[in-house]
Amino acid sequence: MKVLKYAYFMVLLIGLNVLKAETLEPKNISSAVEDKLENSKDIKALENYLKKSEDELFKAEIEKRKKDYISKHRRELESYIENGKNVIPLIYSILIKHNLPPELLAVPIIESNYKIMAKSPKGAAGLWQLMPETARNFGLKVSEEVDERLDPIKSTLAAVKYFKKLYSVFGDWQLVLASYNAGHNKVITKVSYHGNSFSSIKNFLPKQTKEYVLNFIAIAQATTEIIKKKGLDKEDVNFDIVKVNKGYTFEEISKLTYIKRETLDKLNPHLLKKRIPNDGEEYNLYVPKGYGKLVKALLDDSV
């Protein structure tokens, strides 16, 4: 009896193995499907089609946001540009001088609404919302006496160095912007796993970063016309810059130059203690347009 049961079991097992083998035989696969799988051109065409569809959706989303900004948020955009009207021409010229896209003028719109004194809860400050460590890494002084993130020219030059550094890593401006928002280490990690383009990693980034890049492109396109219409793409500023490496209080400068103390306060928010430190380092002193040479001469003569 046991022998019969064993024989029955073996027959059943062999039958199952035969069935399994037959199921996996190539002859059971549709020849049409097999042909398609073997034809790499069809697979490549499908990949290109999907990529093209995704790119078209991306462009459509940008266009939609651009139209929304122009139709629904134009006043807000114009008010932000108004905030920066005194520095945008100089920032524009710096970007052009360093062969960077002038569209980067849109970054301070998103980051600070072009408010020089803007500060975030996390500690970022200035037009470009640089963190203290990042600012110091790119040559800015951040201390109890001076915060050069609030110096529009020096902070812009630091941002330029930062952008160039990021571009040297990624070679793609959308990835640069994602890195500016999320941090380059996070983007490097995503690129290493999912591909070296924003479209390939965007769904793996934080939602805030994905939105940041999309909004930047839309805002940059929407504000280019406004900036040109206002003539802010031409270098024309209402202040002069005096390089000073000796200690003066704003009170002393005001008495020497007859520039109102309140004007010096407003033009120089980066000098936190309302004085130029006497540490031998060179600082920017912003004065009303036309006063630069006079202030330089008076300060030099007073030593």
* Residues forming the active site: 111
Q: Kind and range of the H or E element at 134?
A: helix 132-137
Query: Which residues are CB-contacts of 282 (< 8 A; sequence separation ≥ 6)?
Result: 243, 244, 245
Residues 6+ positions from 120 with CB-CB distance below 8 Å: 129
Instruction: Count the helices and strands in the chain (H runs, E runs).
Output: 15, 4
115: buried, middle or exposed (CB in 10 Å: 19+, 13-18, 0-12)?
middle
Residue of 75, 112, 93 whose CA lies nearest to 232:
93
Name, in order, each residue with C-beta under 8 angstroms of 152's C-beta and a sequence gap of 6 or more.
87, 90, 91, 116, 127
Backbone φ and ψ for 179, nearest 5 degrees, come out as -70, -40
Nearest to 91 by CA among 140, 152, 162, 135: 152
User: Which tokens belong to 87?
Assistant: 């520095």
Given CA atoms 123, 126, 129, 134 in this order, what sign does their dihedral have?
negative
CA 197 – CA 176 distance, rounded (Å) = 10
- Under 8 Å CB-to-CB from 188, ≥6 apart: which residues? 169
Single-letter amino acid code for the residue at 137: N
